[in-house]
Amino acid sequence: MHTRIELITPIITEGIRTLDEVAPYLRDDLTITHSLIEQGPASIESEFDEALAVPATIRRAMDAEAAGANAVIIDCMGDPGLHACREAVSIPVIGPAQSAMHVASMLGHRFSFVTVLDRLRAMVGKIVAGYGLTGNYASFRAIDVPVLDIAHDPARLNAALAREAAIAVRDDGADVIVLGCTGFLGCAEAMQQALRSDGLDVPVIDPIPLAVHMADALVKTGLSHSKRTYPRPGSKPLAGYAFPEISSD
């Protein structure tokens, strides 16, 4: 069985994600396609940004299913529109934050979330609580680098991530580190090496590779989200949104 996963980056910024970055996870029986949204924010660093991204993300998920995708990954650690997309489609929809945090709780007792900006602290705490993982949540750490600046200085980025991860392990009691931005794709190996050189042998979860493997596993095993939990939206008049599959207009 061939699996096609649609990777939806829920922002409008061209080039922030490329298929070359996920090429190492492809196989003869696994294809990844990619799309951005056309209406929404340049990056997601607040509840406001997330809210603006959700309608177009739902539209992309519905279009991906209609075009034959077997699963969808929402390429953001805020998991914007995750539950809404699961209502709108029948194929598996993976939120990198949800999958990374739950796997982190399997690999150790407590995990720390290392991300871009401190302003996300409350937002991340809400996400953790929503996934029922507050008891596994050791700490929040930020490196003070905006999403759109992540690629500007890779050496500084990796050093900052390793520094905050080490503090999370030593001071906060973290057993596992979760990379808190999907823009950090590829940073986990350098962080792991830096931590081990400091005598800190803990897993570092890179959320996008994990989400790819999880989506593939769900497809291969014939599993998707429960329609008892995520029922199809009811038909009703809608204004300002292009959802003819749902709208009664």
The answer to whether residue 158 sits within a structural domain is yes
- Domain enclosing residue 133, as ranges: 97-207
The answer to whether residue 235 sits within a structural domain is no
Confidence of residue 214 (pLDDT cuts 50, 70, 90): very high
**CA 143 – CA 177 distance, rounded (Å):** 14
Is there a single domain that holds both residue 135 and residue 112? yes
Residue bearing tokens 């973290």? 174
Residue bearing tokens 């609580």? 129
The answer to whether residue 9 sits within a structural domain is yes
Q: What is the CATH number of the domain that holds 201?
A: 3.40.50.12500
Percent of the chain exceeding pLDDT 70 equals: 100
Residues 90-136: pLDDT tens digits? Answer: 999 999 999 999 999 999 999 999 999 999 999 999 999 999 999 99
**CA 70 – CA 85 distance, rounded (Å):** 14
Beta bridge partners of 82: none
Residues 36-80: pLDDT tens digits? Answer: 999 999 999 999 999 999 999 999 999 999 999 999 999 999 999
Is there a single domain that holds both residue 82 and residue 113? no
- Number of domains into which the chain is organized: 2
The pLDDT of residue 62 is: 98
Burial class (CB in 10 A: 0-12, 13-18, 19+), 133: middle
C-beta separation of 156 from 96 below 8 A: no
Reply yes or no on whether the pLDDT at 155 is more than 90: yes
Is there a single domain that holds both residue 86 and residue 172? no
